[in-house]
Amino acid sequence: MRLILRRLVHLAVVLFLVTLFVALLTAMLPGDPVDAIAGFASEEQREALREELGLDDPVPVQYVRWMGDFVTGDLGGYYTVTGERPVMDRVRDSLPVSLQLMVYAQVLALAVAIPAGVLTAYRAGSRGDRIANATAFGMLAIPNFALALVLAYYVGVELGWLPVSGYVRPSEDLVEHLRRMAMPAISLAVGQIAVYMRLLRSDMIATLQEDFITMAKAKGVSPRRVLWRHALRPSSLTLLTVAGLNVGTLIGGAVVVEVIFSLPGIGLLLYEAIVSRQYVALQSLVAIIAVGYVLINFLVDVLYAVLDPRIRHARA
Amino acid sequence: MPAPDGGLDLEPAATLAPGGAPAATREPVDAATGAATPTGGRWSRQGRLGWFGVLAIAWLAFVTLAAVLAPVLPLDDPNENVAAIVNQGPGTDGHLLGGDALGRDLLSRMVWGGRASLLLGVASVSLGMVVGGLLGLVAGYHRGRVDTVVAGAFDVLLSFPQLILAVTLVTVFASGQGVSSTRRMVVLILALGLVSVPVLGRIARANALAWSQREFVTAARAVGARDRSIMFGEVLPNVLPAMFSIALLGIAVVIVVEGGLSLLGVGVQLPTPSWGNVLAEGRSELRQAPHIVMVPTVVIFLTVLSLNYLGDVVRARFDVRESAL
């Protein structure tokens, strides 16, 4: 309990600093922020905008105002010549796409990495193990965007197996949905597979040297059962933690991969905001990503402590 | 991490604790030598260079030399448009790697792009090494309140998704109309430097923490050495190998991240070529001229592979040596 309390304090501090940084982004814009946000505006509109964003207010006031808007779902607007459109409308549609992509990538990565990790640990030092290791090492060096482009070209254009862009909702057409998510998810998963496999492999090797495994073998339990029932679970804690913490890397990768495959997720919104210099939208999107990331890290941390008594007692 | 997966989380694979196995990975440890057993091992065997390591060094030397010597090499102007080689594949006469959508020689853009990509990698990681290293060293050596503050600051910095932080900083400080290449480069170096500070800082701190409790530090203190001279004379030399191995990985990560930033429109500013922005530009020609994407992809892949491998060799080698102390 004390541990969780301490984590909560830590969480509060981190959230405060992260949101403070994001809230002051517009104020940090070089020159007059209004020029950057809406350079086309008339003098009147500029005044209104200045008022609306509270650019002349002292920092604490700006922060409180921004924070109040953010938690009540007011994410600011896209400022265009024809008027202002709320960012929230776009975010509502985009968030599920990004989440789906990350879940698929994560599931795919674990689905490949767990069997691979278990088998290479069981046959550590064999030719197959060495080949798997070399492959994993190579996979680590492939940037996900490069893989995405290579896949888009060979699988999408040359072979014509999968569509290279666009998104279909699962409720509309599940098969088409999966077909369109396949390449983005694979691009994101490949790097993770290498990391997860290595991690599980080394933990498994350690577990397989434990007494209770020898005991199980001595009792005549089949190797398969020893591996999957006895050894996997105690070996998987580090893997699960890293998988949780890796969400941060996934977020970064997902942004770029969404842009490449024109998937209308948060990453594509972020890209549009950058290209069209929609700083207020950028601010809100960065806030969503950063806060989401901090919260996930917190959950993983707490979950890990709850799951593993060794950690609970060691750190408390 | 190590990951060229677009993020900058360098740590899990690489926390080095003196006199033992890496702290973060639970590799089986041979009790007698303290070194990781071959089965639980690393990519490189026992930190030996091997033929792969030699190739890695050769590739990096080749790329670096080409980048440094770009102005004196007999290359085409990287920004000269030649109609005849628009979207032409590798091997078009006189143009080894072909041309891009604007008829610019790809070989020349790769060589000049290497200048930008490598400069960015080396400069930002060096910045992270110096700032993170100093902070980590002081925190790990003095401990107490200084340590709490510094470690807390590293934590906060790491709790921001790294690519997003870099994207945000570059967009806010160097994306307006008519931003010069130089300004963009400086902001990129500072942003990616800031991102690498906590990563390298943590490694420095963890190592300084452990090394500061060794006998030779106590001995130095007993004979009246000043804190500063102990820190730089006794502790720092032992912390450097770990930082150096992470720095190699860091350069690889920065090169990859620059590619990601370029795809988002905030990488090295055109017309200055970088490996990342050549690749990003090639995206729109993927159907007609896939080689524009493939060439930088291969170059980035080989460079990252080499850096990762050498980082691993350094790490493995110093593990062994430390255990022999």
* Res A154 pLDDT > 70: yes
CB contact under 8 A, A14 and B9: no
Backbone angles phi, psi at A110, to 5 degrees: -70, -40
Q: Is the peptide bond before A264 cis (omega within 30 degrees of 0)?
A: no
Contact yes or no for A189/A142 (Cβ under 8 A): no
Average pLDDT of the segment spanning A21-37: 79
Instruction: Single out the residue in A70, A86, A102 at which a domain terminates.
Output: A86
pLDDT of residue A311: 57
Q: Contact at 8 Å (CB) between B78 and B112? A: yes
Chain A residue numbers touching B279 (CB-CB < 8 A): 145-146, 149
Residue A207 at interface with chain B, using a CB cutoff of 8 Å: no
Same domain, A16 and A35: yes
Name the minimum distance, in Å, from the CA of A75 to any CA of chain B: 17
* Claim to verify: residue A123 and residue A227 sit in the same structural domain: yes
Q: CB distance B40–A290 less than 8 Å?
A: no
DSSP string, B10-36: --TT----TTSS-SSS---B-TTT-SB
- Of A125, A157, A256, which has the smallest distance from its Cβ to B287's Cβ? A157
The per-residue pLDDT for range A33-51, each reduced to its tens digit, is 777 777 777 777 777 777 7
Residue range of the domain that includes A173:
90-315
Same domain, A80 and A106: no
Interface touch A293/B256, C-beta < 8 Å: no
The answer to whether the CB of B216 falls within 8 A of the CB of B18 is no
Give the per-residue pLDDT at B29: 36
Q: How confident is the model at residue A108 (pLDDT cuts 50, 70, 90)?
A: very high
Say yes or no: A209 and A301 in one domain.
Answer: yes
Residues A282 and A152 reside in one and the same domain: yes
Assign residue B76 a region (left: φ > 0; alpha: ψ between -120 and 50; beta: otherwise): beta
Same domain, A216 and A77: no
Per-residue pLDDT band for B130 (boundaries 50, 70, 90) equals very high
Which residue stretches of chain B are H helix? Answer: 50-69, 106-142, 144-158, 162-174, 181-211, 215-222, 227-230, 236-263, 275-282, 291-324
- Same domain, yes or no, for A30 and A143? no
Give the domain-ending residue among A29, A53, A86.
A86
Task: Please indicate, yes or no, whether residues A82 and A121 belong to a single structural domain of this protein.
Answer: no
Residues A141 and A124 reside in one and the same domain = yes
Question: Which of A35, A190, A274 should one mutate to test binding to chain B, selecting the residue with the greatest count of B CBs within 10 A?
Answer: A274
Instruction: Report the Cα A247 to chain-centroid distance in Å.
Output: 4
Given an 8 Å threshold on Cβ–Cβ distance, is A141 in contact with B304? yes
C-beta atoms of A256 and B9 within 8 A: no
Q: Are residues A63 and A108 in the same domain?
A: no
A179 and A234 together in one domain:
yes
**pLDDT per residue over A256-286, tens digit each?**
999 999 999 999 999 988 888 888 888 889 9
For B194-250, what is each residue's pLDDT tens digit? Answer: 999 998 998 899 888 888 888 888 898 889 888 888 888 888 988 888 888 889 999
How many domains is chain A built from? Answer: 2
pLDDT at B2: 39
Taking the complete model, does pTM exceed 0.90, yes or no? no
Of A57, A86, A115, which residue constitutes the final position of a domain? Answer: A86
Average pLDDT (A115-143) is 87
B residues 47..106 contacting A (CB < 8 A): none
Q: Please report the pLDDT score of residue A128 as a whole number.
A: 84
ipTM: 0.86
Inter-chain contact A25–B2, Cβ cutoff 8 Å? no
Over residues A10-23, the mean pLDDT reads 88
Mean pLDDT of all residues belonging to chain B: 80
Higher pLDDT, B18 or B123: B123
CATH, residue A207: 1.10.3720.10
Whether A119 and A62 share a structural domain: no
